[in-house]
Amino acid sequence: MKARIPGAQGGGQMAMMKKIQEMQAQLEQKQAEIEASEFTASAGGGAVEVTVTGAHEVKDIKMQPDVVDPDDIDMLSDLIIAATNEAMKKADDAMEQAMNAAKGGLNLPF
């Protein structure tokens, strides 16, 4: 069943609706691709490295052995948090760029 737009005349609105539907499909595809991608960031000069997915799931944490100091657990926690936040920012940035590219410069709400 197709939705009818009150006052719609000719093929202009239908063509626009089709274009919007195609754009939405592209947005959904890009979103799925980004969510399946992995993003890695490090902190402490590479002492801690965190990999997350575009869906914000932590996939991996790598630490250099010398960063594990039982007397300074707070520093290790800070490094893990910093690397995780940076990896998630990379995922968010990639999603935003993909969405903006798919919208083709149009200011749409999705």
Residue 90 — very low, low, confident or very high, per pLDDT cuts 50/70/90? Answer: very high
Distance CA 50, CA 33 (A): 20
8 A C-beta contact, residue 46 and residue 86: no
Per-residue confidence (pLDDT) for residue 84, from 0 to 100: 96
Sheet strands side by side (includes 48-53): 38-43, 48-53, 58-63
8 A C-beta contact, residue 62 and residue 27: no
Protein fold of 38-103: Ybab; Chain: A; (3.30.1310)
Distance CA 80, CA 61 (A): 8
Per-residue pLDDT tens over the stretch 34-78: 999 999 999 999 999 999 999 999 999 999 998 888 888 899 999
SS3 108: coil
Domains in the chain: boundaries = 38-103
Scan for tokens 């010398």, then name that residue: 66
Read off the pTM: 0.72
Question: Which range among 51-55, 85-89, 95-99 shows the weakest confidence by mean pLDDT?
Answer: 95-99
Query: Is the pLDDT score of 110 beyond 60?
Result: no
Distance CA 74, CA 109 (A): 42
